[in-house]
């Protein structure tokens, strides 16, 4: 097979669960969750590549034969500037939906990684369960899965280059999406 002059074709990336790379990816996602639950939003923002597209599409109920029900219209459709705007907003004292702040717990599981479109990119799928309590309210829950593209940057670390947040709910029952996913 005459492959293009790409190292990926020459050396397939191993990101199977027994690989060192998989361990890096899992740790990256766990540390990301920790930053969010600890309100370290500036540090969280630093995990994204400059060209990040971060989308949570709206879902509808439909028969299985018609697909999973996700639409182009989204609940969240962000780039790096708009994510930074969100984080800056949360750091004002007037972002009432998070002032005083919600208490979140980001659980990430079922992580699987595959080689991505370039040798430096990995397609990573994970399930999420996020609980939120706020003031004296009980738990709200957000569940679904994420399809991320993680990219190895020049310094050898990982960045999130794409994130699709695929929610289970068609009607978001948790008041609003003022927390980060």
Partner 1 sequence: MASTPGGPQTEESPNGFSLLSNGETLETIVRPKEGLISRRIFADPEVYQMEIERIFGRGWFFLGHESEIPNPGDLVSRFCGVDPAILIRDDDGVVRAFLNSCRHRGMRVCRTDRENVRFLRCPYHGWSYRNNGDLVTVGAENHYGAGELEKDRLGLIPVAGLGIYRGLIFATWDEHAPALEEWLGDMRWYLDIIFGRTGEIEIVGVPQIWEVDCAWKFATDNFTDNFHVFWTHQSLVPLGLLPNFPDFAAHGHMVTAGNGHILHFVQGAPNDETFMGLGLEKPLWQHFPKHLNSGQLDIAMRHAYSAGTVWPNFHWLQLTSTGDTASKPVGILNLRLELPISPTRTRMYSWFAIDKAASAAYRKASYENYVRTFGPGGIFDQDDMENWEDCTAAVKGPAAKRYTLHHKMGINRKQASDWPGPGVSYPDSYGEMTQRAWYDQWLRTMTTPLNGTNKQVPA
Contact 126/108 with Cβ under 8 angstroms?
A: yes
What angle (nearest 5°) sits at the alpha carbon of residue 54, between those of residues 53 and 57?
Answer: 120
Which two tokens mark 9?
Answer: 């074709």
Query: Pick from 4, 10, 94, 155: which binds partner 1 (CB under 8 A)?
Result: 94
Query: Pick from 77, 114, 153, 168: which binds partner 1 (CB under 8 A)?
Result: 77
Using CB under 8 A as the binding rule, whether residue 137 contacts partner 1 is answered as yes
User: Site size for partner 1, by CB under 8 A?
Assistant: 38
- Pick out residues in 49-68 that bind partner 1 (CB under 8 A): 56, 58, 60-63
First to last CA, the chain: 41
Residue 45 or 112: the one with the smaller Cβ distance to partner 1 is 45
Using CB under 8 A as the binding rule, whether residue 177 contacts partner 1 is answered as yes
| Alpha-carbon gap, residue 28 to 40, rounded angstroms | 15
| Alpha-carbon gap, residue 110 to 124, rounded angstroms | 10
The residues binding partner 1 (CB under 8 A) are 56, 58, 60-63, 69, 71-79, 81-82, 84-86, 88-89, 92, 94-97, 137, 170-178
């Amino acid at each position: 097979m005459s492959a293009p002059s790409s190292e990926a074709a020459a050396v397939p990336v191993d990101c199977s669960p027994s690989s060192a790379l998989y361990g890096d990816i899992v740790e990256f996602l766990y540390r990301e969750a920790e930053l969010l639950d600890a309100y370290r939003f500036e540090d969280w923002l630093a995990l994204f590549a400059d060209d990040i597209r971060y989308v949570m599409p709206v879902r509808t109920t439909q028969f299985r034969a018609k697909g999973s029900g996700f639409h182009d219209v989204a609940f969240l459709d962000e780039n790096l500037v708009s994510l930074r705007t969100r984080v800056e907003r949360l750091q004002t004292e007037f972002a009432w939906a998070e002032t005083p702040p919600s208490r979140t717990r980001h659980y990430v599981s079922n992580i699987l990684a595959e080689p991505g479109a370039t040798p430096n990119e990995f397609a990573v799928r994970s399930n999420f369960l996020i609980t939120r309590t706020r003031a004296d309210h009980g738990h709200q829950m957000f569940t679904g899965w994420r399809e991320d593209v993680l990219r190895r940057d020049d310094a050898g670390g990982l960045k999130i280059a794409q994130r699709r947040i695929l929610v289970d709910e068609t009607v978001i029952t948790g008041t609003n999406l003022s927390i980060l996913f």
